[in-house]
Chain A
Amino acid sequence: MTDQIFEYAPAPESRAIVDIAPSYGLFIDGEFREAAEGKVFKTVSPSTEEVLSEVAQAGTADVDDAVRAARAAFTGWSALPGTERAKYIFRIARILQERARELAVLETLDNGKPIRETRDADLPLVAAHFFYYAGWADKLEHAGFGPAPRPLGVAGQVIPWNFPLLMLAWKIAPALATGNTVVLKPAETTPLSALFFADVCRQAGLPKGVVNILTGDGATGAGLVAHPGIDKVAFTGSTAVGKEIARTVAGTRKKVTLELGGKGANIVFDDAPIDQAVEGIVNGIYFNQGQVCCAGSRLLVQESVQDELLDALKRRLGTLRVGDPMDKNTDVGAINSAEQLARITELADSGEAEGAERWSAPCELPSNGYWFAPTVFTGVSQAHRIAREEIFGPVLSVLTFRTPDEAVAKANNTPYGLSAGIWTEKGSRILAMANKLRAGVVWANTFNKFDPTSPFGGYQESGYGREGGRHGLEAYLDV
């Protein structure tokens, strides 16, 4: 018996719990309906390339209708006492919890991320976000924004594909709590969970027009952002699109928050808790296949522990389970789209071409779908593209440093500034480093930890404005 190997048998989550319709319309004014021009597009499962459903492609007329519906709903919604708005938001949060398993499966199918993550990270955080902001709805006068802070009006929100439902929660929960109404456009490759959320809103009895969901591509998003009827733009996505949005809204009265790319530095000192640092590095760059804006994509390791740390990291990466996202034991799932896979592949190849040493975890990748093995580049310098550009994939660039000052200089030497991590057992060093790092969030002896009470946002090209926490209310209040 002992010559056998402990091989985990397949443990697939059941797909039967979620009922995906063959087609979906736009959710405008409390009703699902086809796009005015009748256009549709397909959404596929990135792990199998199976077509999951066909969804409506919103055009200009649909954007007009949705904004009009949101505007009409704003009067009543913003006039509700905070306690009444809170009831709806609490109800949404509870329904999300009740339907968590269904939504986790749906998200895994549409996005390609492992069910372990949607079940244990995405969905609990989604519900927590609604619960948290529901609590603020009747306490806005105590939030530090004046005695009776007023909502802005209609928020146009555009979200990415990496955490579809969680990004929706980050956008919609504070908007509703503060009395705004919303028109939200989910990413083209992951529209389904937002459409299921529309159903949750109906189930919660949310007044018509308070939440409107428009599916579509970049043109739909651009149309929404440019629409004269919205008062607020909230965007999470790439820096290139973020800059375009900033240009579009320049000179208008629209308030904007942008949460964009990043090239987070994860800094490991020689006195770090090594085993936990290895876990933090793995969680920093391989969580969600590295498709995380605040990923710790640059590992800065003190030269004196480089060999020890890299050996431990590679050994650990050998145990990562890459494959079917629906298997409960999968750690790393599929890349979200062929386009994203091509971008990761191109940047990884450039790393090799520029002379960095490439190492990938030994793993078998499925033949269908979009896959990229967890990869580590060593011998990377600040000049390499893989050290400067956001890869948005499971690719770690390892650089070294000698002193804390050098670590700070290298960590800050990026046009981005979204996240950073510090690993040391010395508390005073954590505080000193955190003061010097230009990053919106600095994690100490952990990475990629999220909580609705904590504000999140970037410096420089990582965007502006904060989401989450009390600070997240400001973006949706006229202050």
Chain B
Amino acid sequence: MKYVLMFIETEEFAKEFEAKGPAEREEAYRRVYQWFDDHRDKISDRGQKLQGRETATTVRLDGGALMTTDGPFIEGKEVVSGFTEIDVEDLDEALRMVRTWPACPVIEIRPVAEM
């Protein structure tokens, strides 16, 4: 089954990350790359890391009118910071996989709809 993992950053996590020195950041990235490498046989689309929430633009299509606003869809403390598609046996395998995720503290696991 295919799932998309949505990596979600909290304000706290983002602040902590910003406070890190270059060497620490490097180490954090290294662990993330290592995680992707460890699970490469289950990753069907490596997806993307997204730029920060301050770069987001939200568009609302309301009866033909285009409403453009600055910022993410929901002004919340938690925002999606990246996504990856995985292909695993079932939800338990997905749960096992994210258990070792070394970065942001929240992950949403969503099955991909079959079209």
Do the two shown chains form a genuine complex with each other? no
